[in-house]
Amino acid sequence: MNSSQASTSRREFIKTGGKTAALSALANVAMPPVHAAGSDLIQVVLVGCGGRGGGAAANALSVKRGPVKLVAMADVFPERLASDLNKLKQRFPSQVDVPPDRQFLGFDAYRKAMDCLKPGDIAIFATPLAFRWVHFTYAIQKGLNVFMEKPLTADGPTSKRMLALAQDASAKNLKVGVGLMSRHSRALQELADRVHNGEIGEIVLQRGYRMHGPVGYFQSLPKPAGITDLLYQVQRFHSFIWASGGCYNDFYIHIIDHLGWMKNAWPVKAQALGGRHYKVSPEGVAYVDQNLDVYSVEYTYPDGTKFFLDGRCMNGCERIYMSRLHGTKGMGVASKKGDCGLPSSLYKSQMANPSDLIWESKVSPAEKDPYQNEWNDLMDAIRDDKPYNEVKRGVEASLVSSMGRMAANTGREITFDEMLNCEHDMAPDVEKFTMDSPAPLVADAKGRYPVPQPGIVTTREY
């Protein structure tokens, strides 16, 4: 950390949204409402295919309010673009119009895709998070509404950029959704209302768990021949902190986000444990990813309340994936299983005994899917021209995630202020990347990338 630099306080950051200099050009006046009539066609482009990219596009095309059409796609991997395109065409044949001349490849493909839209259309960003601020900057310049997947940032410098861009988007009357779908779970919305109204008293403890076997690109072997370091790291983004925040940010942010919501606050500091236990494949080859196998983090809220988060990616161990909150008058189940699994419930004791149940969520079938709900809510805001910008909250959730990750990776207590003001930009010059650019991480002669060394490297994570 740079102790000579004036610290940005957590309270001021949350209150003002980090009023820093705007990064993208602003119009002199806010944009007039676009697509407010409810019957105009809204065109969509997908930047970042595979995984949540295809899922987000499907949710966009499933919105019932007004016509929506997918008109362009962008990625750096042609096979991912082709796979998503084929799936979407089969499911939405009349809503997918992406001919070869609107299928774009390369690190500049995002510009070409967004150039196919008119102001008021929607760009979906589902690339690794390192590119989020770059793509968001261009969308604002083009006057586009945006849906971006979580997490949003992995470091302090990028968080400040994204906060400035959020203000730019609001100034231009753009609508921006962030893929923290727990906030659009109707069960969690009612739970939050009940908890904030004091039904289980004051929250005194929170617990979150995501423990299962390796998933996604949690672990990676040395880079094979035939692919550059940069493309390998982008392809296996969960393995590299610069690209995703590592498994910590990508896997744990939903529980961090919705428990912060229940507390109606963000933690101010974190201390943590973590370890790399099984970093050799069954064939005896060492994994080279930057993730720890286990994380145990103690977050502290401004009032001293604790939130304990346990994460583990190991086969053969107990699988626990849920979130709980304890109050002075009882306890609550936020997610019964998974990131926001139904039902949410409240109990008059500290045990989830059926005899102590005081409330259990009931959600209509049409609103059980929070991934679809977040798109329905975004589209309502666009059609009705309502203020809608989830970026500030998305950055805050990403910062709290990074705070816990950095505490584990350095062996130090990390405050919100320290995370925000840490000068380690993990992907410098990302806006200039080409297919031939060097990667942010350089492997040694054995194909190993830098990994965290708690207690040894303590001012940055690697």
User: Looking at residues 380-391, what average pLDDT do you find?
Assistant: 98
Instruction: Render pLDDT for 77-106 as a digit per residue (tens, 0 to 9).
Output: 999 999 999 999 999 999 999 999 999 999
Predicted local confidence at residue 311, as pLDDT: 98
Instruction: Quote the CA–CA distance of 386 and 367 in Å, as a whole number.
Output: 21
User: Looking at residues 403-431, what average pLDDT do you find?
Assistant: 97
Cis peptide before 119 (omega within 30 of 0): no
Predicted local confidence at residue 279, as pLDDT: 87
Residue type, 82: A
**Cβ 265 vs Cβ 325: under 8 Å:** no
CATH 3.40.50.720 at 10-182+371-387, yes or no: yes
Which superfamily is assigned to 183-368+399-432 in CATH?
Dihydrodipicolinate Reductase; domain 2 (3.30.360.10)
Instruction: Render pLDDT for 300-318 as a digit per residue (tens, 0 to 9).
Output: 999 999 999 999 999 999 9
Strand order in the sheet with 122-125: 103-105, 68-75, 42-47, 122-125, 145-148, 176-178
pLDDT at 4 over 60: no
pTM recorded for the entire structure: 0.92
Return the percent helix, strand and coil in the chain, to nearest 5.
Answer: 35, 20, 45
**Cβ 86 vs Cβ 124: under 8 Å:** no
pLDDT at 164 over 50: yes
Instruction: Quote the CA–CA distance of 425 and 289 in Å, as a whole number.
Output: 19
Instruction: Render pLDDT for 207-238 as a digit per residue (tens, 0 to 9).
Output: 999 999 999 999 999 999 999 999 999 999 99
Query: Where does the chain hold its CATH 3.30.360.10 domain(s)?
Result: 183-368+399-432
Query: Where does the chain hold its CATH 3.40.50.720 domain(s)?
Result: 10-182+371-387
Strand order in the sheet with 203-212: 357-360, 345-347, 330-335, 320-327, 203-212, 306-313, 294-300, 269-275, 414-415
Predicted local confidence at residue 25, as pLDDT: 37
**Radius of gyration of the chain, Cα coordinates, nearest whole angstrom:** 22
In angstroms, the Cα distances linking 394 to 9, 132, 154, 163, 253 are 18, 12, 12, 10, 10
Instruction: Quote the CA–CA distance of 326 and 208 in Å, as a whole number.
Output: 12
User: Looking at residues 109-124, what average pLDDT do you find?
Assistant: 98
**Cβ 137 vs Cβ 176: under 8 Å:** no
Instruction: Render pLDDT for 11-62 as a digit per residue (tens, 0 to 9).
Output: 444 444 443 434 433 333 444 455 544 449 999 999 999 889 999 999 999 9
